[in-house]
Amino acid sequence: MSQSAREKAIERLREIGREIYLLSHVNALLGWDQETYMPRAAVEERAEQLSVLEGMIHDRITSEELGELLELLGAEAGNPGGSSDLLPVDRALVRHVYRHYTRQTRIPGDLVRAIARQVGVSQQVWAEARKASDFSRFRPELETMMELTTRKAEALGYKQHPYDALVDEFEPEMTTARLTDLFDSLGDRLSSLLDRISAVPQVENDFLFRTFPEDRQRAFSRSVISELGYCFDRGRLDQSTHPFTTSLGADDVRITNRYLENFFNAGIFGSIHEAGHGLYELGFGEEIRGNLLADGTSLGIHESQSRFWENMVGRSRSFWEYYLPRARSHFPGVIDDIDLERWYRGINRVEPSLIRVEADEVTYSLHIVLRFRLETALLSGDLQVGDLPEAWREQSSSLLGVVPESDADGVLQDIHWSMGAVGYFPTYALGNLYAAQFRSALLRDYPGLDSMIASGDFKPVLKWLRQKIHRHGSALTPGELCRQVTGGGLSADFFIDYLEDKYGEIYRLNAD
């Protein structure tokens, strides 16, 4: 193949990719509107709109022309990046497109449109069922969604478990077997730490349940994430039933959050969490800006960014050394009697709870193990949708020692199943592992990290993340990125060591 023909082929590949990129952002805009401002009566037509757009995107990613271009560029199963003569960034694009092309060509277009249509309806029904705390309202929609999801897994194909086909969409190269081994080991180590914490006096946190006016929470959250680097010229902070981040363009990355007037943690840490996702999306390098590589390489890596900012920065003592005086001024008279040490220990209280998004760092991953077990059982046929509420209660009791009294606090608390996002949940726990491993590398470069944070200087941290992680987008796989940044493959050891150090001090586990 001549150089001229190769250049024309890669240019055409970029053009098609750009169309897909733009259509996906239009699709995301409709989804964002549905979750924030859309009137209830619009749900049926919105479902049709989403279905049409998903069909258009699927048609482009599975087009005969795209397949011919990939063949011309030398992409194949053993060499997904194509010709070695291509520039590295172009080889990365070819590999990325080849992965999506091979996956999507296995899924019939009518199934893609059916799933998109069902998502449009299911999300609205889920929101209403959650508000009423009545799983029976959502059950028919979830049964339909699981039927469609099972068809999708069968169409994609798998070697061992149907869940493999689904989790690979969110975390490339991950398998059910690997997750099972990882989560069994992680669960044991977390349970051991939790047992030791439970055996010592509990820290006080009642002051977090005082009255924090919602408007003041919004203002405080906005000021904090702005100083972390989230730019409101390129984004928004709105409210939704379930916090989320969505990209509507290279310079339009929006986040949402929810606030509880009688629980401080939900608002501020939810905002920081979503801002971490937003900072990743806003940090893609110029060489990939506006094309299909301008996307997170996996949801585990994406979650590492939100969990890093939320917990490893936002729940650190140094962070509140800077922000506690500011918080007192935002909430006059509410927390004036709380000193830094009581505040730091209180916001990091470890206590098994019902709600995943409000869970502490030690127990959070156990919430993910619960969902992972239910999802794999649903896909294998060992669990029926109608039995989910009781199965949820049993797993919650076994893993966390708490049992939800209502569907809203149990099986209905997450939006993911209404989105058809089966296989998504494991990436939250993987994000914790990546975050701790990245943090270890950051500390090697910035041993004075705590002092910088205590002074309110977050620019070096964001710059490091941009250079090491954000700018690459999907040009590197999760495994490649982890090895390049940290020097080794993903390991749970960094996360466990981080928790042991932090909570060993907070709960004085090693005191004589």
pLDDT (tens digit per residue) in 215-250: 999 999 999 999 999 999 999 999 987 789 999 999
Which residue type sits at 46? Answer: R
What confidence score (pLDDT) does residue 511 get? 64
Domain ranges of the chain: 3-157, 176-506
CB 186 within 8 A of CB 436: no
CA distance 316 to 457: 14
| Summary mean pLDDT of the chain | 95
What percent of the chain is helix, strand and coil (3-state, nearest 5)? 65, 5, 30
Q: Nearest 5 degrees, angle CA 304-CA 307-CA 308? A: 80
pLDDT (tens digit per residue) in 376-421: 999 999 999 999 999 999 999 999 999 999 999 999 999 999 999 9
Q: Residue 274 catalytic? A: yes
pLDDT-derived band of residue 196, with 50, 70 and 90 as boundaries?
A: very high
CA distances for 54 relative to 98, 119, 249, angstroms:
19, 11, 17
274, 303, 310, 375: the catalytic one is 274
CA distance 19 to 59: 11
The radius of gyration of the chain from alpha carbons, rounded to an integer in Å, stands at 23
pLDDT-derived band of residue 1, with 50, 70 and 90 as boundaries?
A: low
Secondary structure (3-state) at 263: strand
Share of the chain above pLDDT 90, in %: 91
Quote the pTM value: 0.92
CB 406 within 8 A of CB 452: no
Take residue 216 and report the two structure tokens written for it: 């003041």
To which H or E segment does residue 256 belong?
A: strand 252-257
For residue 252, report the phi and psi dihedrals to the nearest 5 degrees: -150, 80
CB 358 within 8 A of CB 266: yes
pLDDT above 90 for 146: yes
| DSSP string covering 162-196 | HHHHHHHHHSTT--HHHHHHHHHHHHHHHHHHHHH
Residue 422's region, left for phi above 0, alpha for psi from -120 to 50, else beta, is: beta
Take residue 122 and report the two structure tokens written for it: 């299911």
| CATH assignment, 176-506 | 1.10.1370.30
What confidence score (pLDDT) does residue 510 get? 79
pLDDT-derived band of residue 2, with 50, 70 and 90 as boundaries?
A: confident
pLDDT-derived band of residue 3, with 50, 70 and 90 as boundaries?
A: confident
What confidence score (pLDDT) does residue 60 get? 94
Q: What is the dihedral of CA 475, 481, 487, 493, to 10 degrees?
A: -170
Secondary structure (3-state) at 141: helix
| Number of C-beta neighbours around residue 155 at 10 A | 16
